[in-house]
Amino acid sequence: MSDQEILDVLTRALRDLLMDDSIVLGMETRREDVPNWDSLVYINFIVAVEMQLGIKFKVADVESFSNVGEIVAGIKAMLR
């Protein structure tokens, strides 16, 4: 998957979770940039992405992702 395809998956997951189609994620987007993206939504987001892509993040990674770009990179590494 390309960076953009992964970004699309992430965007769609977050839009679904928050029921908000105005959300646009970029590689630089941080959690605090998106209204209502709180810690519970973050965990649900991780679960949703894991279910959709059939992957499992390492707990250490989930804790350390500081922006969307790092999540994309983490997923790329797992899908490789």
Of 4, 33, 40, 64, the residue at the interface with another protein (CB under 8 A) is: 40
Of 16, 31, 34, 53, the residue at the interface with another protein (CB under 8 A) is: 16
For residues 37 and 17, is the Cβ–Cβ distance under 8 A? Answer: no
CB-nearer residue toward another protein: 12 or 27: 12
Of 2, 19, 32, 66, the residue at the interface with another protein (CB under 8 A) is: 19
Nearest CA to 33 out of 21, 24, 44 is that of 24
CB-nearer residue toward another protein: 60 or 77: 60
SS3 (DSSP) at 47: helix
